[in-house]
Amino acid sequence: MTNQDHFPIRGYDHIECYVGNAKQAAHFYDRVLGFKPIARLGLETGVRDHASYCLQQGNIRFVFTSALHPDHEVARHCNLHGDGVKVIALEVGDVDVAMREVKARNATILQPAQAFEDAHGVIKTGIIKYAGDTVFKFVERANYRGVFAPGFAPIETQSHSPVGLAAIDHVVTNVYLGEMTYWANWYRDVMGFNQLTHFTDKDISTEYTALMSKVMENGSGKCKFPINEPAEGRKKSQIDEYLDFYQGGGVQHIAMNSGDICKTVRMLRERDIDFLRVPDTYYDELADRVGPIDEEFDELKELGILVDRDEDGYLLQIFTQPIQDRPTLFFEVIERHGSRGFGVGNFKALFVSLEREQERRGNL
Ligand code: FE2
């Protein structure tokens, strides 16, 4: 049974990152992560103060935006946060309805419903505040036939090599101690989401650090948003490290589905993506812990892919190192075989590895 949203959400529309150099970011997402550049705007399209690139792989769209002047919202955002996620955009059937519903539930409106039009049709959007400087944007694109959005010029197809990333699975936010429940309630009250699960510091703790997490999802279960907050530990948690370097709450990682995680990870490794590595001993007891799976344990060990099983099935997952110098945003690649979880059985091994990296950075 699916629960009823306050307003129907069709799925993730795109993620927009504010970055220092959108041209180079786009190149990295293209050549390394396998996203195809599809549209852009900037000086050549008559936009004088910022440049944006839209890239797509499977159903995943990323937009990278840079300022062209220092006194610009995007420049100030990058100065404070470094490169990071600014906009989580969700596709809705009707932006007017979505904005009316969230306004009635006390969302902070940053941009009321507004139509943008070009020769290819109309897109309607509305924007509300979320944690830190992050925002949610609602997008209604049923009446738009262009490549991405009005103002963007299509990019001619070039050689492009996807790695099999197919869809966004979940988007994780880090917030300060004491704020997790506030934002979980915000998802419930403003967005009409339900709590899927809850992890306490008993589930997620190591010798040094602990964190707590609540996972919220929309009625269809398509959009899942875990929210992490640090718990008191003997040393600084990975969440504290993020908050220090991001200078506030924001998106910690984006998990993307692959239908063949071994192939995806092999390709990403060939392109020098650096993944978090758990100790080889992780694989010693793995077959006993997770039981029979379709994949070869030797290949998973070679690639560093993790496995977890729950009552619904199993999942395969792996995490990249941070993708910028600040230890903030990173990615997860996930392949689900029935499990709707997040790999709680891997948390301990992962966090010990994370702490080793934190220690190398002088942040533990
Ligand atoms: Fe995740």
> pLDDT tens, 48-81?
999 999 999 999 999 999 999 999 999 999 999 9
Residue 225 C-alpha to ligand 1 middle, in angstroms? Answer: 9
Pick the range with the lowest mean pLDDT from 134-138, 167-171, 327-331, 357-361.
357-361
Task: Over range 194-198, report the average pLDDT.
Answer: 89
Which residues are CB-contacts of 353 (< 8 A; sequence separation ≥ 6)? Answer: 276, 277, 278, 279
Cα-Cα end-to-end distance for the chain: 44
Bridge partners of 154, per DSSP, are 39
Task: Over range 34-38, report the average pLDDT.
Answer: 97
- pLDDT for 234 beyond 80: no
Which residues are CB-contacts of 170 (< 8 A; sequence separation ≥ 6)? Answer: 215, 223, 224, 225, 226, 254, 255, 342
Residue 318 C-alpha to ligand 1 middle, in angstroms? Answer: 9
Residue 22 C-alpha to ligand 1 middle, in angstroms? Answer: 25
Task: Over range 112-134, report the average pLDDT.
Answer: 97
**Domain coordinates of the chain in residue numbers?**
9-154, 165-361
pLDDT at 159: 80
| Predicted model pTM | 0.95
Q: Which CATH superfamily is domain 9-154 in?
A: 2,3-Dihydroxybiphenyl 1,2-Dioxygenase, domain 1 (3.10.180.10)
Which residues are CB-contacts of 288 (< 8 A; sequence separation ≥ 6)? Answer: none
Bridge partners of 173, per DSSP, are 227, 251
Task: Over range 80-87, report the average pLDDT.
Answer: 98
9-154 and 165-361 have identical folds = yes
Residue 332 C-alpha to ligand 1 middle, in angstroms? Answer: 6
Alpha-carbon distance of 22 to 49, in angstroms, equals 13
Q: Which residues surround ligand 1, an ion (CB under 5 A)?
A: 255, 332
Side-chain-facing half-sphere of 169: CA atoms under 13 Å: 22
Residue 103 C-alpha to ligand 1 middle, in angstroms? Answer: 30
Computed over every residue of the chain, the mean pLDDT equals 94
pLDDT at 1: 39
Q: Which CATH number fits domain 165-361: 3.10.180.10, 1.10.30.50, 3.40.50.1110, 2.70.240.10?
A: 3.10.180.10
pLDDT at 25: 98
Residue 88 C-alpha to ligand 1 middle, in angstroms? Answer: 16
Alpha-carbon distance of 17 to 13, in angstroms, equals 14
pLDDT band of 272, cuts 50, 70, 90:
very high
pLDDT at 117: 96
Residue 319 C-alpha to ligand 1 middle, in angstroms? Answer: 8
Residue 341 C-alpha to ligand 1 middle, in angstroms? Answer: 9
